[in-house]
Structure formats: C-alpha cells, structure tokens
Amino acid sequence: MSFHLVVGHGPAGAATARLLAGQGQEVRVATRSGAPAHQPVEGVEHLAVDASDPAALALAARGATAIHGCAAPPLPQWTTHWPALASSLCAAAEESGAVLVMLGNLYGYGPLPDPDRPMTEDLPLAATGPKGRVRAAAWEQARALHEAGRIRAVEVRASDFFGPGVTDGGHLASRVLPGLLKGRSVAVLGDPDAPHSWTYLPDVARALAEVAGDERAWGRAWHVPTAPAVPVRVMVERLAAEAGTAPVTVRRLSPALLAAAGLFSPLLRELRETRYQFDRPFVMDSTAYETAFTVRATPLAEQVEATVAWWRERLSTP
C-alpha cells in the first residue's frame, strides 16, 4: 500500500500528517527521534530517520506516493544544514519515484526594489542574504532535477505561519498571545502599521496535500492561499477583541535594544537578514494558486477565533 511520507514534525509537518490521516491516507512521519512532537494521531506512524542521510531517507520513502518536505534546521544552522537536507530529499524522491512536495517560504525573493509590489511566484529568487540564498538553492536544485525528468517536484511557499499549533517564538501569535490574553501590552518587530501577509497553518497543510495529488502543480512553485495582508497592529487588535482583553497597547521594539540583545541571542542575530520583512510592506499574492486549484484561505475571523481558543486551552493546561 502506498503512503505519504512527511519529513519533519514541527507545526507544518504535524498539521499535514494530521490532515492526510483524516483523509484516509496512510502516513509516516520521519524525524530524528522517531517520537511525535505533538499528541499522537491515529493512522500516523513515526519513524526515526536522519533526513539529511540520503540512504536512510530513501529507505523510509520506499513505496511512498509523496514526500512532504516540512523539516527545517534551526535558523542559525540554515547555511550549513540546508544543502544536505535538500539533496537528501531530492535523492529520496529520485530513488522512490515519489512526488517531492517542498514547503518553502518567501526568503528567496529577498527585499523587493519596490516594497509596495506584492510578491508573486514569477519573481526572480534574488536574495542576497545567506538564508535567502540557501532556501532559493534548495528549490532550484529540485526544479532542475524535475526539468531533467529525474524527479517530480513542487514547492509551496508560505508567509509567516499563524494559527493553532504555531508555537515558535518568532511568530506573531506565540510572541504576543500569552501576554495579550492577560491584557498586557505587546512589543513587536518592525513597523506595526506595515501591511504583512500571515499564512494560516491549516491552509498550509491543505495546499501541501492538494498539490501532491495534482500533476498540474508539479514543476513550479505556488503561494499558499493567504488572506489579505493585515498590519501587526490590526492583528493584535483583532486577537485582543476575540480574547476579550482589548484594548491592548502595541509598541515597536527599539532597534538599539534588538541589536544589543543580538549580542547574546543567536536567533536575534540571524533575524537581522530578514528584518526588512517587518520594517516595510511584506505582501504575498496567492492569485495563481487560487485560480488553478480548490484550496482557499480561511477567513481571517475564523483564523483569529481558532487561534485564540487554541492558545487559551494551551495556557490553561497544567
């Protein structure tokens, strides 16, 4: 029996595995530990695999219909670890014949010359920073192999994750909601009034599942259907209103304070390359995907309601 192999069990990998299992698919999840990072899901098998080891990953992918590449190294290790992971994913796809579905982001575009221009998939991957270049190179490698007829590959690109299950400290909800639920003020990166695209995590999973089974999608990149861009301040206001703690003060973190904190925090040092995403408009256009396929962005009101409910339950659990 064929199955879907999900590589990585962070928020996106977990959501994708859960969705595929709910659709009646056989699902296997490959992580270093082989243990679920979240509550076990019926129909999902966990395997201990070093995804950067081509032989090990190819063995795990044998018989797979699709390989969903949802793993990512810690941000400070991107330049040293992404090349091996990308090569391993491609090798496993070639040996197994499975469709390689890569989860990507918007780093590869780099800062646009015109920040008011929405990002579309036809933009060149012109990033100049190391993290943007390494992400762009991962997709270019897969696309070259696809064009050579050696693998079948597609990349699905998302903006900053938002929604239930997103617990990484670099994201909006996890950075602000614990304090916001208590009515505390919120400190944010960059300009709180600059338009910003937030991609809802369940929509990421739905897009990954959809393109895996539709050959019209293969051979190129697509943007996950994403609701219209909303500034951080507006998102905080909507979250606070849903949580019943409005009004909440939103203030900008001092650039000088961030620079000083970066002396002690590797993560904050790495974020310097992508600060432009919060200092100016950062808007993603998903029209191409929505024209071709069926997944649509979840309405923002539903996103906010589900996210606040999830965080309230999480914070109330001993």
Tell whether 48 and 120 lie within a shared domain.
yes
CB atoms within 10 A of CB 253: 14
User: What is the CATH number for 103?
Assistant: 3.40.50.720
Tokens 């496993």, located at residue: 92
DSSP string over 121-174: TTS-----SHHHHHHHHHHHHHHHHHHTTS-EEEEEE--EEESTT---TTSHHH
Q: Are both 83 and 213 inside the same structural domain? A: yes
Residue 38's pLDDT is what? 73
Domains in the chain, number? 2
Please name the helix (run of DSSP H) or strand (run of DSSP E) that holds residue 45, with its range, or none: strand 44-48
Buried b (16+ CB within 10 A) or exposed e, 73-99: bebeebeebbeebbebbbbbbbbbebb
How many residues in total does the chain contain? 318
Q: What is the pLDDT of residue 316?
A: 84
Closest C-alpha among 282, 298, 305, 288 to residue 222:
288
- Single-letter amino acid, residue 45: E
Q: Cis before residue 83, ω within 30 degrees of 0?
A: no
**H helix runs in the chain, sequence order:** 11-22, 54-61, 78-96, 130-147, 172-180, 201-212, 232-243, 255-262, 266-270, 276-279, 287-292, 300-316
pLDDT at position 33 is: 93
CA gap 297, 21 in Å, rounded: 21
Please check whether residues 134 and 239 belong to one and the same domain: no
Same domain, residue pair 60 and 22: yes
Partnered with residue 3 across adjacent β-strands are 64
Does 82 lie in the same domain as 13? yes
Whether residue 90 sits in one domain with residue 216:
yes
- Residues 130 and 15 both lie in one domain: yes
Buried residues in 110-135 as b, exposed as e (16+ CB within 10 A):
bbbeeeeebbebebebebebebbbbb
pLDDT at residue 258, rounded to an integer? 62
Residues 298 and 180: their CA atoms lie apart, in Å, by 23
The predicted model scores a pTM of: 0.94
Q: Crossing angle, helix 300-316 and helix 172-180, to 10 degrees?
A: 60
- Domain identity same for 8 and 58: yes
H-run or E-run covering 71: none
Say if residue 173 is in the same domain as residue 134.
Answer: no
Same domain, 89 and 58: yes
* CA pair distance 138, 124, nearest whole angstrom: 14
DSSP type of residue 118: P
What's the pLDDT at 318?
Answer: 65
Cα angle, residue 206 at apex, residues 200 and 210 outer, rounded to 5°: 145
Q: Which domain holds residue 25?
A: 3-161+199-225+284-292
pLDDT, residue 129, reads: 93
In angstroms, rounded to a whole number, what is the distance separating the alpha carbons of residues 152 and 218? 6
CA-to-CA distance for 57 and 50, rounded, in angstroms?
7
Nearest-Å Rg of the Cα atoms of the chain is: 19
Based on the domain organization, do 240 and 308 belong to the same domain?
yes
- The C-alpha angle 171, 205, 238, rounded to 5 degrees, equals 40
Each residue's pLDDT expressed in tens, for the chain with a length of 318 residues: 589 999 999 999 999 999 999 999 999 999 999 988 777 888 999 999 999 999 999 999 999 999 999 999 988 899 999 999 999 999 999 999 999 999 999 999 999 999 899 999 999 999 999 999 999 999 999 999 999 999 999 999 999 999 999 987 556 767 788 888 888 998 888 899 999 999 999 999 999 999 999 999 999 999 999 999 999 999 999 999 999 998 999 988 776 666 665 555 666 666 778 889 999 999 999 999 999 999 999 999 999 999 999 999 988 876
Same domain, 8 and 145: yes
